Structure 1
Amino acid sequence: MPASSPALRFLEASERLLTRARAQESQIQQAADWFAETILKGQMVHVFASGHSRIMVEEMWPRYGSFPGFNPIVELSLTFHNLVVGANGQRQAMFLENVSGFAARILRNFALQEGDCALVISSSGCNVVPVEIAEEFQKRGVRVVALISQEHSDASTSRHRDGKKLQDFADLVLDTGAPIGDAMVKIDNLETPVAPGSTVGGCLIINAIKAEVADRLTKAGHPPKVLTAGAVCGAEKATALFEAAYDEHARRISRYYAGLGV
């Protein structure tokens, strides 16, 4: 039989990521329990990532099929890749995500509450800022769920001052299933592989959690205000949902500013 194409090999590797996600259903259920409990109390689940893991933050909220209750913490200096080089380039972002103390300055902007939860995403689990973010969350009584690429993290060296990794400051660890180095497809006569998998695996986990949280909120009598396309529910209803969801987000996040310095 002829060898499969690079495209098919990527899709086959992605199927393995789905299998890995399925194997973590109990952990997904646990994360959903914690997140729903926090949201039902009127508090927020803080979602943080640096680098390209930012994609998973935006996958959680706000986008179609998502709902309020999540606080997406996206620091542009760590995640703005479009210019690649020059001012605001990738070199600076990669440098900054390993600056100790930066995480504490980011979280200084929020009056975190006991009973909050956090989801921190880092493929390697080894860069300083995501590790210290999780560490700072735990110091403040915030329960932490880590989303990493376990195989890649195990093969990587932490830059944390004590050699700690993200999973060392997590109450629960989820695995995207991506391989060492992230890239999943080897090309003939090309030395290094291409086509990363952590985003695929990460988005599977994110949306599985999201679906479970929505189910819990609805069963508790507080169905979430889901951002929904007009093609699904009509333009008028879609607009009303968007406005209501954004208003709820504003009310929830305002509590985390009102208590600063108090």
Structure 2
Amino acid sequence: MSLGYLDEAYGVLKRIADTQEDNIRAAGRIFADAISAGGLVHLFGAGHSRMGVEEIFPRIGSIVGYHPIVELSLSYYTNVLGTMGLAQSLFLERVDGFGECLLANYEFGEHDAAMVISSTGINNVPVEVALGLKARGLPLVAITSLAHSTTVDSRHPSGKHLYEVADVVVDNCSPAGDAVVHVEGCEYPVGPTSTLGTVTVAHSINEVLATELVARGTPPVVLGSPHFSDQEAAKRNLAEYYAAYRERTRRV
């Protein structure tokens, strides 16, 4: 018997490859426009979607120019053990006004762009953050599950889903409900795929971004792996990476 999750996971990746390349390239070009002009690409995700932000920056292979916005109370880091704050995070993600409170902490520049990650695309805070970024004039990319978002009502007072706010929407190709393996005797399926799809999309966008920046004559500062024997080179790379990040984010 083959493992059902591996089959389903492969299916998600294949759907992304078959259907999302144009959207991924469009997102990468938007980010390249921002970073090559000296701007930032602001990243937001709540709950498990913040994992997509963390995979983009800071990460081996990541590019200076990203600015992650990860709110501790909307993550699962509030408790070290146990449920890791799941109940609190689920509650806060549905609170009107919280998204604008988050955005009020930052200064957004004329060359900036943004990406909001939310697989369901229906909760108040991600939609509010997306609307707030658009109101500030930022080109907006969304990573979401269209299979889920198009079949469920939005919780935001406007009735809008994340995919209805963004300029470019990249589908993570995760099915409605996220989990994909039905095990006899279990009431609900196991094996979520949204993080797999989201991270695949995010790194694909990053590839396009790097390619675009090189083509435009503004090659990016990339974080290399420090896990090799040449530690002096790794230290120099890390110092360059953080110096470039501090310089670019100084006005935020």
When normalised by structure 1's length, the TM-score is 0.91
Of 105, 122, 138, which aligns to 1:126? 122
Q: Does 1:196 align with 2:219?
A: no
Unaligned runs of 5+ in 2: none
Moved more, 231-240 or 63-72: 231-240
Q: C-alpha distance in 2, partners of 1:216/1:151?
A: 30
Counterpart position of 2:151: 155
Counterpart position of 1:248: 244
- Match of 2:43, SS? strand
Equivalent position amino acid for 1:204 in 2: T
Q: Does 1:77 align with 2:73?
A: yes
Runs of 4+ aligned structure 1 residues displaced above 3 Å come to 84-88, 230-233
Of 26, 30, 34, which aligns to 2:30? 34
Alignment of 1:21-60 (within 5 A): 21-22=16-17, 23-60=19-56
Equivalent position amino acid for 2:232 in 1: E
CA, structure 1 residues 120+175, in 2 after alignment: closer, same or farther (shift >3 Å)?
A: same
Moved more, 74-83 or 116-125: 74-83
Counterpart position of 1:141: 137
CA, structure 1 residues 86+188, in 2 after alignment: closer, same or farther (shift >3 Å)?
A: closer
Shift of 1:226: 1.4
Counterpart position of 2:59: 63
Tell me, yes or no, if the aligned pair for 1:83 and 1:90 is still in contact at 8 Å: no
Q: Does 1:9 align with 2:12?
A: no
Q: C-alpha distance in 2, partners of 1:72/1:89?
A: 21
Equivalent position amino acid for 1:198 in 2: S
Alignment of 1:174-253 (within 5 A): 174-231=170-227, 234-253=230-249
- Match of 1:255, SS? coil
CA, structure 1 residues 166+200, in 2 after alignment: closer, same or farther (shift >3 Å)?
A: same
Tell me, yes or no, if the aligned pair for 2:76 and 2:85 is still in contact at 8 Å: yes
Tell me, yes or no, if the aligned pair for 1:115 and 1:143 is still in contact at 8 Å: no
- Match of 1:30, SS? helix
The alignment yields a C-alpha RMSD, in angstroms, of: 1.8
Q: C-alpha distance in 1, partners of 2:207/2:80?
A: 35
Tell me, yes or no, if the aligned pair for 1:81 and 1:90 is still in contact at 8 Å: no
- Match of 1:160, SS? coil
Q: C-alpha distance in 1, partners of 2:23/2:68?
A: 22
Q: C-alpha distance in 1, partners of 2:96/2:197?
A: 28
Q: C-alpha distance in 2, partners of 1:36/1:176?
A: 21
Q: List per-residue Cα deviations over 1:69-118 (Å, max 9, x = no partner).
A: 10010000001346388997221111111111111111111111223111
Q: C-alpha distance in 2, partners of 1:53/1:231?
A: 27
CA, structure 1 residues 84+188, in 2 after alignment: closer, same or farther (shift >3 Å)?
A: farther
Q: C-alpha distance in 2, partners of 1:124/1:31?
A: 19
Of 107, 111, 115, which aligns to 1:111? 107
Tell me, yes or no, if the aligned pair for 1:44 and 1:71 is still in contact at 8 Å: yes
Q: C-alpha distance in 2, partners of 1:87/1:54?
A: 17
- State, as a whole percentage, how many aligned pairs show the same letter: 41
Equivalent position amino acid for 1:206 in 2: A
- Match of 2:134, SS? helix
